[in-house]
Structure 1
Amino acid sequence: MTRLAITRQPDQLDEITRMAHARGVEIVPLPLMNTEYIKFNINDDVINRLDWLFFTSANGVRSFLDRLEKLNIPLSDKTKIGVVGKKTMEALEEYGLSADFAPAEPYGKNLFLEFVTNIAAGNETVLFARASKIVYDPEYLFNLAGLRYYSIICYETTEGAVPAGNVIGLSESDFILFTAPSAVRSYHKTFGVPLARTIAIGRTTASEMSLHNWQIFKIMDIPDVDMVLDYLY
């Protein structure tokens, strides 16, 4: 049976595991990174004045909105929400919210560039609920556009412990889906160059692979874990 390792926690892989089983593929979790929510504080006046709120991950949605609930600070009805793609939209729906804007291609930089180019009216108050480390910071772009910009660090990723047996058992006929540049760095630090065929969830992750001189089998056009089975052959 073909094995497909995915750099996510086991509880994030229920749907893809079910679909893979139907195709005769075994899913192997490789939880290289852990997510920790940060107990940030924010003035409720800032939340009340928000015109736009931006998320580039489902973790950003959950960590930010869970914290607002604990602080007893509701979002204003006037606040619109921009998200990077499908999974972030689905996370919003868990809270009874919907997205007002998403970019044509699901990348964080595209989200901010397309917003400034096509939607921003200037003199608006915007907030980015983000991780401690990000690939693209929109601060300079938003300032140029005349927007009042706030950012809140609401979660961080740390290296997880992956049993060596999960990696050693992967052969040249198997696959590994890397879901973030940080997962690539963590894997390379611990295990070196993968023996299995590597799939990058998007261009940013593929760029990190190239920095380590990895051979890349496929780069996903749409960064959606549940679609990876279509990229195996």
Structure 2
Amino acid sequence: MAKDLQGKRIIVTREASQGKAFAEKISLLNGIPLELPLLRISCKKAENQEQIFNNSENYDWIILTSANGVNCFFKQFHSGNHSFSADVKLAVVGSKTEAALKQYGYDADLVPDIYDAESLAKIFLPKYENGERILLVRGNRSLDTLPKKFKEKGIGFDSIEVYETTMNEPIKDELYKVISNKEYDYITFTSPSTVQAFVELYGMAVDSPCVCIGTTTEKAARDSGFTHILTAKTFTIEGMLEIMVEDQS
């Protein structure tokens, strides 16, 4: 059985700063990373930020669904004289979000075994007590999975949009060259947003192998017209690497 990537050329489409870590892991497994960040992520000040921060001690739950959300939220939260209730509980979508949270000195109270919003909702809802106040930390392209679940159950919540994901237009020509000349073996997608960005920037899906971080991203790829899809068993970049290594066997 193969134990590495055997020199395969792998397109890393995630945002540049996060893509670096992925690229390094690819290189360590004898793969060739092609860094083509299709997205740009920047923190933003939400219209309701002051209201949310000034009332932060009233929340019983803070729910964070991405490392970007953690970083942008706490950078802005810590810049003012704000604090949580001593009893606040923190829920995160997965291990990377949990790790980002620890960097700010907090431990997660709730982490699903499967790293997606659907799984987080399944373990959160039985723990929710009627009347508890929820703050959902989001980006402009965050999925509506949790808001829909809460509305279905009649659960009220506040939401704050702390970061913005936009298309990395300058990468378009380089992406077109690599794809049209077939200078790669795999395309990697770490979110539905990366799938959408690929289709918008390149113009269409392709029939080459694409590797998705989880089932939500897989659905986005399938809906966009990708047909040769490999999906990580564990919804992390390590899981994506594992599935590509297995594909060499």
Check whether TM > 0.5: yes
Q: Which amino acid aligns with 2:131?
A: N
Which amino acid counterpart does residue 243 of structure 2 have in structure 1?
Y
Is the 2:14–2:194 Cα contact (8 Å) retained in structure 1? no
Alignment match, 2:13: 7
CA apart distance, 1:38: 1.3
Q: Distance in 2 between matches of 1:141 and 1:193?
A: 30
AA paired with 1:8? R
Unaligned runs of 5+ in 1: none
Q: Equivalent pairs: percent with the same residue? A: 25
> Could you tell me how far apart the structure 1 residues matched to 2:130 and 2:54 are?
20
Give the 3-state SS of the residue equivalent to 1:71 in structure 2. coil
Q: For the aligned residues, what is the CA RMSD?
A: 2.2
> Quick one: which of 88, 97, 109 aligns to 1:88?
97
1:72 aligns to 2:81 (yes or no): yes
Give, in whole Å, the separation in 2 of the partners of 1:141 and 1:215.
30
Q: How does 1:94-113 map to 2 (within 5 A)?
A: 94-113=103-122
Name whichever of 206-215 and 13-22 sits farther off.
13-22
Secondary structure of the residue that 2:72 maps to in structure 1?
A: helix
* Aligned residue-pair number: 232
Find the counterpart in structure 2 of residue 231 from structure 1. Answer: 243
**Aligned 1:158-173 pairs, distance under 5 A:** 158-161=166-169, 162=171, 164-166=173-175, 168-169=177-178, 171=182
1:227 alignment partner AA? G
Counterpart-to-counterpart distance in 2, 1:83 and 1:32: 25
Q: 1:210 and 1:16 mapped to 2: Cα distance? A: 23
Q: Does 1:198 align with 2:210?
A: yes
Distance 1:144 1:58, change over 3 A: same
Matching residue within 219, 223, 230 for 1:207: 219
Q: What is the TM-score of this pair, normalised by structure 2? A: 0.84
Q: Which is further off, 132-141 or 18-27? A: 132-141
Corresponding position: 1:183 with 2:183: no
The question of 1:220 aligning with 2:218 is answered: no
Q: Which residue of 2 aligns with 1:134?
A: 142
Q: How many angstroms apart in 1 are the aligned matches of 2:61 and 2:191?
A: 26
Q: CA distance change for structure 1 residues 116 and 166 in 2, over 3 Å: closer, same or farther? A: same
Aligned to 2:36: 30
The structural deviation recorded for 1:145 is 4.8
Contact 2:62–2:89 at 8 Å: present in 1 too? yes
Q: Distance in 1 between matches of 2:217 and 2:224?
A: 11
Contact 2:112 2:123 survives alignment (8 Å):
yes
When normalised by structure 1's length, the TM-score is: 0.89
- Tell me what 1:154 maps to: 162
Check the 8 A contact 2:141/2:193 in 1, yes or no: no
